[in-house]
Amino acid sequence: MIDWTILAPAAFFAGMVDAVVGGGGLIQIPVLLGQFQQTAIPTLFGTNKVASIAGTGAALWRYARSVRIPWAIVLPATAAALPGAWLGAALVAWISRDAMRPLIIVLMIAVALYTFLRKDLGQQSSHVSHRGERWKGALFGFVIGLYDGFFGPGTGSFLIFGFVRLFGMDFVQGSAGAKVINFATNLSAIGFFASHGPILWQVGLIMAVCNLAGSYLGTRLALKHGAGFIRKAFLGVVIVLIGKQLLDLL
């Protein structure tokens, strides 16, 4: 028996968090695993992507209408992230994910400390267009895609931090740029999971409606309160990610 009193609020809250700084999977996946304990993991991951892509798409639409997204960086990064994710998934056969976990924890702590200490980071856009930014964006997208395909947790946070730190975007632009890549990689993941096994489409689509509603609220909050609000939410999500990775390691 499906307990929608747990699944529906989880999808709503995941959509709200994901719209601001990413990390909705931290909420949806554990709930799906708890509700469908006898279901194959790839099926649940695919169902999670179906629920998530609705909110990601809605957030992207609202950001694109309200925020100046530096497409010269974001589009090459998105195009490069897709083959990067495929290669990252292939690397799992040769390298253990657990061997990478301590390094990822160190990187996340460094990101959190840097963001906390640099109070002015991402508060205003300092992005300046130049000839080589497309290639720089493509390299960044490929590296993030590689990480997403190989390991995954914190991809949205690394995307936002990279856009802010490397390309001089503010946190609102960084969050908007991250949604473009998230939408593309989610679409690719749905195609992969759907072709390799069943997806719980009814569950995924109902959760998608809840995720969409949460995304609407999250995007409104982000656009209303601006970069300062996203910075605080970003730090909160990164701290939760660090805690989860430490627990998994121990």
Highest mean pLDDT among 129-133, 180-184, 246-250: 180-184
Nearest to 150 by CA among 160, 162, 142: 142
Residue 63 has pLDDT above 70, yes or no: yes
Residue 122 banded pLDDT, cuts 50, 70, 90 = low
> Could you read off the pLDDT of 204-240 as tens digits, one per residue?
999 999 999 999 999 999 999 988 889 999 899 889 8
Structure tokens at 52: 């998530």
Query: In 10 A of CB 217, how many CB atoms?
Result: 15
pLDDT, average across residues 91-116: 81
Checking if the pLDDT of 108 tops 80, the result is yes
**pLDDT for residue 141:** 93
Query: Whole-angstrom Cα distance, residue 128 to residue 114?
Result: 22
* 169 CB-contact burial (10 Å; exposed 0-12 / middle 13-18 / buried 19+): buried
Q: DSSP secondary-structure letter at 75?
A: H
pLDDT digits (tens, 9 = 90+) for 164-207: 999 989 899 999 999 999 898 888 888 888 887 789 999 999 99
Q: Which residue type is seen at 92?
A: V
Length of the chain counted residue by residue: 250
Q: How confident is the model at residue 127 (pLDDT cuts 50, 70, 90)?
A: low
Predicted local confidence at residue 128, as pLDDT? 64
Taking residues 145-164, what's their average pLDDT?
A: 84
By C-alpha distance, which of 212, 210, 140, 211 is closest to 177?
140
- Between residues 148 and 212, which one has the greater pLDDT? 212
User: What whole-number distance in Å separates Cα of residue 54 and Cα of residue 181?
Assistant: 14
Q: Which residue has the tokens 């990775």?
A: 245
The reported pLDDT for the residue numbered 154 is: 78
Residue showing tokens 């590296």: 143
**How many domains in the chain?**
1
Q: What angle do CA 242, 247, 249 make, to 5 degrees?
A: 95
pLDDT band at 97 (very low <50, low <70, confident <90, very high): low
**Phi first, then psi: what are they for 126, rounded to 5°?**
-120, 20
Checking if the pLDDT of 151 tops 80, the result is no
- The yes-or-no verdict on residue 93 having pLDDT over 70 is no
Which position has the higher pLDDT, 242 or 2?
242
Residue-wise pLDDT tens digits, 12-62? 999 999 899 888 888 898 899 889 988 988 888 889 889 999 999 999 999
Residue 92 domain boundaries: 4-249
pLDDT band, residue 106 (cuts 50/70/90): confident
Sequence-distant (6+) residues with CB within 8 A of 244 are 26, 153
